[in-house]
Amino acid sequence: MRVLVTGAAGHIGGHVTAELLAAGHDVVLTDLRPVDEPRALRVHTGDLQDPDLVRKAVDGADAVVHLGAIPHPNTPDPSTLFAHNCHTAHRVFEEAGRAGVRRVVAASSMAAVGLAWSPVPVSPAYVPLDEAHPSLLRDPYGLSKTVLEEVARTAHRRYGMDAVSMRFPFTGTGGRLADFLAACAADPAGQRHDLWGWLHTLDAATAIRLALELPLSGAHVINVTAPDTTSAQTSAALMAAHHPGVPLRSAVSGHATLFDRTACIDLLGFAPRRTWRTTEGES
């Protein structure tokens, strides 16, 4: 396939590009920052709010991976962040639909639930937390991701394209991951709103490739997480200490993730396997 990757200069974008090239796909890349990838068919540098840039980038594409967005709410103007992420999501899906692109895979976030960046203490209604969990939103970043998911559903209804919105937690490898794990070891409470979730970037790239390649139809939202938490404490101990009284809908043993991965397994035939706890973690 010819695949457009937006946000290609980002942490996930670089790994996705490598994964797609290794699988034999052609790639077209775009980002605000220049991307140095000589194997790409084309590279576009500019803002996804620019309709001409997006139109040129999607021309000839069979599929799109949309990763381009402001990745956190730590900006001086929440309204600008919200408007930017929503505008770029709509621009990419709209131009992809007009161009006849048959599938878009987009990076949503576990923040769409409303835990991750909540400005006040909040607990989930239950764990393992699935894609149907009710909204707890109080922040502009998470709100922009729920809009992205609705944009994807709308594009499916309007243009018939297949759409997969992938809810990622913190995603990292190497020093980025090591720093996140060290922060949890020093203060597990600091990641209580993340439910100690994480994902190895190589597993994120594989999940995105599968979402492009497999014969899916419709518009889907999928939790994609590592099999374990970021903490040396057991999952039960973490919940008892930081989210007491939250109902447990199914068994969570040892250090198992507190996110439901059923949809990922059922739709992609894949569950991220990398864990920082063994030599197989490739962290």
Domains within the chain, CATH numbers bracketed: 2-276 (3.40.50.720)
Percentage with pLDDT > 70 across the chain: 98
DSSP per-residue string spanning 35-74: ---TTSSEEEES-TT-HHHHHHHHTT-SEEEE--S--SS-
| Per-residue pLDDT at 170 exceeds 80 | yes
Instruction: Give per-residue pLDDT as tens, 43-85.
Output: 999 999 999 999 999 999 999 999 999 999 999 999 999 999 9
pLDDT band at 90 (very low <50, low <70, confident <90, very high): very high
Percentage with pLDDT > 90 across the chain: 96
End-to-end, the C-alpha distance of the chain in Å comes to: 30
Q: Determine phi and psi for 145, rounding to 5 degrees.
A: -75, -35
Kindly report the pTM of this predicted structure: 0.96
Token pair for 83: 């408007």
